[in-house]
């Protein structure tokens, strides 16, 4: 077998979301440079190809992907007939995702899929079966959790494991959760320096998913990853949904056109139109317990961020000795900042905790910010969101080499999607 055959060969299936292209923003020694794309005809696959081509032709550190594309109504049959790769990238219309994952896993192919892997209870049940089949077929199904490579969350997690500084995680209550994740996102924004054109189905919650099951995937993942590192969770015992609600973002025809380049709302969106405005159920809040720890996750979507701002996040972990907070508001110039609220801790114990970080995160320091301590992070540690996709890919390549995920990953993926789909069911009942 020659060297090229030993390499991982990528198939990109029906790329309707820009995250599929971001996985190709870098090159990888383990991956063959020829990538096969199978998709129906349309603007989505064309936009995907343009984005990959922009990485191939950029002035600085260009990539060298060779794209082999098949477009047609029979793209799915053709993909399984050709079987030109051993890893399928799935990032697009979430309504199709469960079926795509099932078919790829059933046929003995590895899958690296964008979140969410499930957008409703039916999707969750399909996912549970897919993980069982993946185990039988000795292939790996994995979702793209970029936030685990975000330095702000990494530091918050690290400090929460320092018992001298943080103590133990509070249990919290429904009104005052121990752990909170809040995020504000925008329909219209720039990606790789250019305005992002959203596919029209992105505004249909039956295709993209309600707000409670989409971006919240990252936030629920962060809560599990930070509060219970390397612990295999059991969704049947460890998770209890307490309250959930959702509400719409109102999009005008002009805004819709600006985001999608389409002149008017398509017929399948008409059922969400009231008084000529599109109502998208993209906002939500869930309150639940994870191993008896009270957690709150909330997501809000606006159309466009004010000039000079962008997507924002707030994250808080309350310990018995300190509270760890990430803020990204006006006071922080809309850049994430990690704070320590020392509560009863002395200045020395805070500085000792930062000193301990130096072996892993060289150059990290602190400065006073009112009653809080602000963690000063060197620029070299601040890797941008788009570059986190390369980190996820490298991690997945390592797992492919050993043909094994960490023991906690599959149960925790199931716990994550159980949490989001349960929240949606509860919100719908209300």
From residue 218, alpha-carbon distances to 138, 222, 274, 310, 355 in Å are: 26, 6, 31, 17, 29
pLDDT of residue 310: 78
Per residue in 196-208, pLDDT (tens digit) is: 889 899 999 999 9
pLDDT of residue 69: 98
From residue 178, alpha-carbon distances to 190, 213, 297, 323, 398 in Å are: 34, 22, 11, 9, 34
pLDDT of residue 4: 39
Q: Are 298 and 313 in contact (CB under 8 A)?
A: no
Per residue in 326-360, pLDDT (tens digit) is: 999 888 988 999 999 999 899 999 999 999 999 99
The C-alpha angle with vertex 104 and arms to 98 and 109, in degrees rounded to 5, equals 140
pLDDT tier at 430 (50, 70, 90 boundaries)?
confident
pLDDT of residue 191: 74
pLDDT of residue 330: 85
pLDDT of residue 24: 97
β-bridge pairing 34-39 and 10-13: parallel
Q: Is the dihedral of CA 198, 201, 207, 211 positive or negative?
A: positive
From residue 150, alpha-carbon distances to 136, 170, 245 in Å are: 33, 24, 28
Q: Which has the closest alpha carbon to 91: 46, 139, 48? A: 48
Q: Are 88 and 109 in contact (CB under 8 A)?
A: yes
Q: Please name each of the domains of the chain with its CATH number.
A: 3-145 (3.40.50.720), 148-386 (3.30.360.10)
pLDDT of residue 307: 76
Q: Are 17 and 91 in contact (CB under 8 A)?
A: yes
pLDDT tier at 1 (50, 70, 90 boundaries)?
very low
pLDDT of residue 2: 44
Structure tokens at 255: 């805004």
Per residue in 41-64, pLDDT (tens digit) is: 999 999 999 999 999 999 999 999
Of the candidate ranges 97-101, 197-201, 317-321, the one whose mean pLDDT is the lowest: 197-201
Entry pTM: 0.94
For residues 306 and 287, give the distance between their C-alpha atoms in angstroms, rounded to a whole number: 29
pLDDT tier at 309 (50, 70, 90 boundaries)?
confident
120-146 mean pLDDT: 97
Q: Say which DSSP state 110 is in.
A: E
For residues 187 and 422, give the distance between their C-alpha atoms in angstroms, rounded to a whole number: 25
Mean pLDDT for the chain overall: 95
pLDDT tier at 194 (50, 70, 90 boundaries)?
confident
3-state DSSP call for residue 417?
A: helix
pLDDT of residue 94: 95
pLDDT higher than threshold 80 for residue 291: yes
């Amino acid at each position: 077998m020659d060297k090229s055959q030993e390499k991982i060969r990528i198939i990109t299936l029906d790329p309707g979301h820009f995250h599929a292209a971001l996985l190709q923003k870098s090159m990888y020694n383990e991956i063959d440079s020829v990538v096969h794309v199978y998709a129906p005809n349309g603007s989505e696959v064309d936009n995907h190809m343009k984005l990959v081509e922009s990485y191939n032709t950029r002035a600085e550190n260009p990539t060298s992907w060779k794209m082999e594309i098949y477009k047609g109504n029979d793209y799915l049959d053709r993909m399984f007939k050709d079987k030109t790769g051993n890893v399928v990238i799935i990032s697009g219309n979430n309504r199709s995702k469960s079926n795509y994952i099932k078919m790829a896993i059933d046929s003995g192919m590895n899958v690296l899929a964008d979140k969410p892997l499930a957008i409703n209870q039916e999707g969750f049940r399909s996912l549970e079966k897919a993980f069982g089949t993946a185990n039988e077929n000795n292939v790996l199904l994995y979702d793209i959790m970029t936030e685990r490579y975000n330095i702000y969350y990494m530091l918050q997690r690290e400090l929460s494991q320092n018992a001298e500084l943080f103590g133990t995680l509070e249990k919290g209550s429904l009104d005052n959760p121990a752990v909170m994740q809040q995020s504000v996102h925008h329909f219209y924004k720039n990606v790789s320096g250019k305005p992002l054109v959203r596919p029209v189905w992105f505004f249909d919650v039956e295709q993209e998913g309600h707000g409670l099951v989409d971006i919240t995937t990252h936030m629920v993942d962060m809560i599990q990853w930070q509060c219970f590192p390397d612990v295999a969770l059991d969704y049947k015992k460890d998770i209890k949904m307490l309250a959930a609600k959702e509400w719409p973002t109102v999009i005008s025809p002009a805004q819709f056109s600006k985001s999608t380049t389409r002149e008017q709302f398509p017929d399948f969106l008409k059922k969400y139109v009231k008084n000529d405005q599109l109502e998208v159920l993209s906002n939500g809040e869930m309150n639940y317990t994870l191993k008896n720890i009270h957690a709150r996750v909330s997501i809000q979507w606006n159309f466009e961020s004010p000039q000079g701002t962008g997507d924002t996040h707030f994250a808080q972990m309350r310990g018995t000795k300190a509270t760890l907070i990430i803020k990204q508001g006006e006071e922080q110039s809309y850049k994430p900042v990690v704070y320590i609220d020392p509560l009863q801790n002395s200045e020395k114990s805070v500085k000792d905790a930062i000193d301990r970080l130096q072996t892993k995160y060289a150059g990290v320091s602190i400065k006073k910010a009112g009653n809080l301590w602000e963690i000063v992070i060197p620029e070299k540690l601040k890797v941008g969101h788009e570059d986190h996709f390369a980190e996820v890919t490298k991690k997945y390549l390592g797992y492919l080499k050993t043909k094994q995920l960490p023991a906690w990953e599959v149960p925790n993926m199931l716990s994550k999607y159980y949490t989001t789909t349960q929240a949606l069911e509860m919100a719908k009942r209300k």
